[in-house]
Amino acid sequence: MPKGLVVVESPAKVKTLEKFLGGDYVVKASVGHIKDLPEGELGVDLEKDFQPRYVTISGKGKVIRELKKASKEVKNIYLGPDPDREGEAIAWHIAEEIGDGNKNIYRVLFNEITKKAVLDALRRPGKLQQSKYEAQQARRILDRLVGYQVSPILWEKVRRGLSAGRVQSVAVRIICDREREIQNFVSEEYWSLTAKLKGKDSSVSFDAKLTKWKGKKAKMAREADVLAIQKALETVPYSVLKIIQQEKQRHPFPPFITSRLQQEAFRKLSFPAQKTMWIAQKLYEGIDLGEMGMVGLITYMRTDSVRISAEAIHQVRGWIKDHFGDSYLPPKPNVYKSRRGAQEAHEAIRPTSIEFEPDKIKTFLDEDQRALYKLIWDRFVASQMPSAIFLQTTAEIKADDAIFTATGSVPVFQGFMALYMEGEDNRENGEQENALPPLSEGEILELLGLTPKQHFTQPPYRFSEATLIRELEEQGIGRPSTYATILSTIKEKGYVHLEKRKFFPTELGLVVNDLLVVSFPDIFDIEFTAQMEENLDKIEEGRRDWIETLKEFYLPFEKDLEMARVSMRDVKREQIPTDATCERCGSKMVKRWGKRGYFLACSSYPKCRYTREVEGNEENQVETDAKCAKCGSSMVVKKGKFGRFLACSNYPACKFTQSLDTGVQCPQEGCGGILVERRTRKGRTFYSCTKYPDCTYALWDKPIPEKCPQCGFPFLLEKQGKGGTNKRCPQKECGYRSSE
């Protein structure tokens, strides 16, 4: 008879555990949640302290029957779903279905899927944690209350099928608020003056910037200001006034937590957050390493703690000493402090064993797995290496009434940077520091030239996935397990779109955000949402009651709901007067809302049914480098009834349009056409030749001007999938595929 039944979430994890446990235990998978609130109805009893009504998820009846059958053969049941709130809820629901008074039900937490960790967990099992389950349940009910009661109001006022979310709508608000900051930003002109200098006995020149003029900070708002100073300084002597040298340290970064891993994978690997978590899940659950079998390569990937076990620190310090030498090993282990409220029961994300070096196991991993695993490995090892040391030199140069400053730095000791450097979010804003040539105080310098340069103050940057996750984390919105879902949801719902890896709110996103902020000023407030996250943490810690927390939330929310149903703007039915004139009947045009956003319609409808696109709709047009063939103006990408197209930016003076060019030539022999983007009558995008109907070549996937690295075919096909961007060769016999 087996010692017990072990239940985990995924079938992949089952294979790994069966290898560790042999035939001593029966191992089964729940394949995620088995019960949830019902679809199509609220599922929460508002009259009875928010009691939820759980139902079996469609298709999970068979899983429950298999678990019940397996449980009859054992006395001990070990519930091992993921060690977080969602995992606790899964464990709780499994216990409700298969537990009875004759069974011993234990909770086991696998922070890593290694034989030692699994056996240790089974030797020291714990109990189900009611407070953690109640925290998950409170979050689930909160999200249901908001989603199922606010969304129908949006269906009535804006469009059917829209959704509101307690956290997702706040993420959209952050993006919308940033967009308006950018739109309202007034850029200011300023100038800088750079001197190119060199020592009398040196062949190496260097740059120095004007920092002081006549004893005050140099401020040059206009070209005339800088030209006057330039003229005054062209013939005066330049000399080194002061040399300041100081040692600077750059400290290593802590090992990854979930948010930092998502940010860094986006910066360095261009992985969307969802793809990062999907790959990390595979690395955590287990990879087949040939003769070693299934091995979990990293610790649990949903964590906000930077804690590292003593055993892991001992291993990595030994590895650093062997591979880099004593000078790269700090006297004591580096210790990092987690943010307030972090779950210190978890470790940071790290390799499960220092023996699994990236180069040693790379043949067992695909390209994306190798890249992410190496990122995790390098960050973890570097976190236990010493700080990098630089010698920074600052030279102050005097020229009559002016002070110029030149700064340079040279590395003295690489430290952790011998292995790892963190990526940057806005690299274009940074300036590279170079070493200065040898200089001495009092040294006379030769002026090679003075260069004035015009600058403009820049608006705040738009969020990328990395910077939005950082913003959510800093604001206390969401938790490690939710960031990827938040980002994918707001994209899927059409509230935001990505252009050049930056988030832009769509017209729909702006409209819905404005309605929600006005009608629900508290619920979709950033501080309120952050406070609710803290309350959920307190429920998990046993310091708050989940029912009282829901009551505090619902009383004001219910009043807002009642008011919103009556007073929220009816975008569907409103007609906004404009100064535009109907081209058919001469009546005034009104701005109305439709399936594809705002449009202009004749006010004489239904007598006159003339409509046209709203001019200057920024969400519906994107600038390009192409020029209009008719008048030479820039072309813009617009979104119309039949999809995207190129139009002259000089509309309505010039009404030239053309199909959206992919930049890929038609591969049909002797054709000479170009593949362009089109749309079917049902709205599905496809790509076909400009020589249609003479040439009928067409594709569903987007052609990109990138040669196949395997067979040399002149273009590849690109498709967006759940795991990211997939590329493949159109030639079936080639079979080339890659993912990003």
- How many other CB atoms are there within 10 angstroms of residue 307's CB atom? 20
Per-residue b/e over 488-498, b at no fewer than 16 CB within 10 Å? bbbbebebbbe
* Full DSSP string of 139-189: HHHHHHHHHHHHHHHHHHHT-TT----TTHHHHHHHHHHHHHHHHH----E
340 by DSSP, 3-state: which? coil
Orientation of helix 526-540 relative to helix 130-157, angle to 10°: 150
- How many other CB atoms are there within 10 angstroms of residue 518's CB atom? 13
Would strands 4-8 and 76-79 be described as parallel, antiparallel, or unpaired? Answer: parallel
646, 630 contact by CB (below 8 A)? no
Strand (E) or helix (H) holding 588: strand 588-594
Helices (H), 161-257: 168-184, 223-233
Distances (CA, A) of 330 to 242, 252, 345: 35, 11, 26
Distance of CA 657 to the CA centre of its chain: 35
288, 736 contact by CB (below 8 A)? no
Q: What angle do CA 150, 156, 158 make, to 5 degrees?
A: 90
Helices (H), 383-506: 465-475, 483-492
Contacts of 84 (CB under 8 A, 6+ apart): 300, 302, 481
Peptide bond into 438 cis (omega under 30): no
Could you tell me which of 286, 273, 281, 270 has the C-alpha nearest to residue 361? Answer: 286
Catalytic residue among 300, 328, 554, 651, which?
300
> How far apart (Å, rounded) are the C-alpha atoms in residues 40 and 111?
36
Active-site residue, 300 included: yes
* Full DSSP string of 56-75: EPTT-HHHHHHHHHHHTT-S
> How far apart (Å, rounded) are the C-alpha atoms in residues 186 and 457?
8
Which single residue is written with the structure tokens 């003075």? Answer: 450
> How far apart (Å, rounded) are the C-alpha atoms in residues 52 and 117?
35
40 by DSSP, 3-state: which? coil
Phi, psi of 600 (to 5 degrees): -100, 135
Contacts of 52 (CB under 8 A, 6+ apart): 37, 43, 44, 45, 137, 140, 141
387, 251 contact by CB (below 8 A)? yes
> How far apart (Å, rounded) are the C-alpha atoms in residues 353 and 279?
18
Could you tell me which of 77, 57, 59 has the C-alpha nearest to residue 68? Answer: 77
List active site positions: 300
